[in-house]
Amino acid sequence: MSGITGTPVATQPAASSTTAPHRPRKEPRISTASQDRRGPTADCTADIAGGLTFDVRLSDDAAAGQESPGLLLRRRPDLSGETEEIRLPLAPVEDARPAREGTGLVLRAALPSTVQMTEGRWNVFLALEGQEPRRLAPGLNDLRSLVDRTPREGRTWLGVRIPYATKHGNLSVRAWQRWPHAEAGTLRVVDNGLVLSGRLHGARLDAGARLEARPRRAGGAAGTVHVEVAVDGEEFTAELPYPPLAAHRLWDLWLRPAEGVDAVRVARILDDIPDKKRIFTYPAQRIELPPGAEESEPCTATPYYTLNNDLAVRVDPVSA
């Protein structure tokens, strides 16, 4: 997996019809923001605890007369229209690397891991006195500490923040806040089903642990498919058969650690990839239904990651 980035990673080709491994590990890659971007850039460094450090490069003219410059993070509005803001002070960096051509002062802001961020996408702005906040462009993103991250146990919440470049060339941060958390690992497409391995953080796997496939927008527990889970310490493995999924189009995957314990959404967020839907692709497999099944229309099942990096399965009719 890449650890230092400055541009989006290309989409991984679809895996073979029998096995769907995750993106192979690559050496850390370094690239910088395009020099013709408008506005200042911000280099970003992630730490293993979940904190972020922003280094904003300003021209001497832009920094002149500024007594309290700041970095503003603004969450994109949710469906209700509500949003939030976090403002961080920017201070000069005395030992900054030599500035690239056209830049002067380097200002630093720190977002500690102890600051909670609501799940969602946060746009990053430069806030200068007497001016409207201005979007920042991504510079160098050092995300090596996020690769194969293992969260510390004993916490009460897990914060994950991944900076990335938007399609318009702006800097944003994807944030998750969860605990317990079920991290998806290897996915294998097998005959008429899916084998999922993963690791549970923040809760104990016990007798009665199971994987649950829930039909999206079906309401309540009706139609949920339950699968037994093989447990090895904090790790789990389950094989989800495809035929029971033919009844609905979209299925969300949850892990119930034990009988009577709240289920946890299965997701993949403990790495440096903010959007997995286009990166991790898996083959569609035709669902082989038993003779006389109510759902007799031919269809396929495809595992995928949602826009929130949650694991799901999509069922599609087979084209004639």
Pair 305, 277: CB distance under 8 Å: yes
Task: State the Rg of the chain over Cα.
Answer: 22
Other C-beta atoms closer than 10 Å to the C-beta of 163 total: 26
Q: Of 196, 174, 160, give the one whose Cα is nearest residue 313.
A: 196
Task: Quote the pLDDT of residue 284.
Answer: 96
Of 39 and 87, the structure prediction assigns the larger pLDDT to 87
Task: Quote the pLDDT of residue 37.
Answer: 44
Looking at the chain, the whole-number percentage of residues with pLDDT higher than 70 is 80
Task: Quote the pLDDT of residue 97.
Answer: 58
Looking at the chain, the whole-number percentage of residues with pLDDT higher than 90 is 67
pLDDT at 17 over 60: no
CA-CA-CA-CA dihedral for 84, 127, 53, 274, to nearest 10? 50
Distance in angstroms (rounded) separating the CA atoms of residues 4 and 2: 6
Q: Of 268, 25, 304, 53, give the one whose Cα is nearest residue 173.
A: 53
Distance in angstroms (rounded) separating the CA atoms of residues 117 and 135: 19
Total length of the chain? 320
Task: Quote the pLDDT of residue 96.
Answer: 60
pLDDT digits (tens, 9 = 90+) for 222-248: 799 999 999 999 999 999 999 999 999
pLDDT digits (tens, 9 = 90+) for 95-121: 665 445 545 789 999 999 999 999 999
Task: Quote the pLDDT of residue 153.
Answer: 79
Q: Looking up tokens 């994987």, which residue turns up?
A: 211
232 contacts: CB under 8 Å, gap ≥ 6? none
Distance in angstroms (rounded) separating the CA atoms of residues 249 and 266: 18
pLDDT digits (tens, 9 = 90+) for 42-78: 999 999 999 999 999 887 665 556 678 999 999 999 8
Q: Looking up tokens 């500690």, which residue turns up?
A: 112
pLDDT digits (tens, 9 = 90+) for 116-170: 999 999 999 999 988 899 999 999 999 999 998 888 878 889 999 999 999 999 9
For residue 317, which amino acid is it? P
